[in-house]
Amino acid sequence: MLRERKLNFLNVLFVTSIMASSIMATKLFSLFGVAMPAGVIAFPITFLVTDVVNEVWGKNEANNTVKLGFIANLMFALLISLARILPPFEFWELQPEFEALLGSVPRITLAGLISYVISQTLDVHIFHKLKVKHDGKRLWIRNNVSTITSQLIDSFTFIFIAFYGTMPLPELIKMAFMQWLVKAVLALLDTPFCYAMVRWSKEG
């Protein structure tokens, strides 16, 4: 029962990180002079969670977490779209601001869904293969290799779908590469957290 509650918590953390990244990605910030979607901060958490679920509960449960995230993100995008098209009340004057903030969410969410399905499925697959290959040892290798590889695919797929046509192509490539680099660094830094979360998940 305790481990089931822990799995539920990880699934909630996974879904929250996905939806937060969809909103955060509408803001671009500057990192060493390169435009970066703020969602780069939240999305790597999802790979950490699937790696922990894969390690403790297995590949099938990790794929189930990925499916839950897909359904939640799709529903989130539909509800945001519904909110945008609802006629504003006559005294409510914030529709332009609401549109400015959330108007690009459907495109970003679509980009996120496509890149998400590809990268998360790849992450779970690589992690499981390395776990079998190393006979359950060397968690740090499969945690980093699966995440860094799948994040490369995710970054370029997401950036090109979400922002193509809004900025020059060289800037897009630079942004995608820099986003992957940030995610790769975060993947390396999250290794101790992966070990800690795996230990926590196995307790009880």
Q: Tokens for 49?
A: 């969670």
pLDDT tens track, the chain, 204 positions = 788 899 999 999 999 998 888 888 878 888 888 788 888 888 889 989 999 999 999 999 999 999 999 899 888 888 888 888 899 888 888 888 888 777 766 777 788 788 888 988 999 999 999 999 999 888 999 999 999 999 899 889 988 888 888 778 888 898 889 889 888 888 888 899 999 999 999 886
Q: Which domains does the chain have, with CATH numbers?
A: 2-202 (1.10.1760)
* One-letter amino acid of 59: K
> Residue 43 and residue 163: Cα distance in Å, rounded?
17
Residue with tokens 């290959």: 133
> Residue 158 and residue 138: Cα distance in Å, rounded?
30
Residues 6+ away with beta carbon under 8 Å from 58? none
Q: Tokens for 46?
A: 């999802």
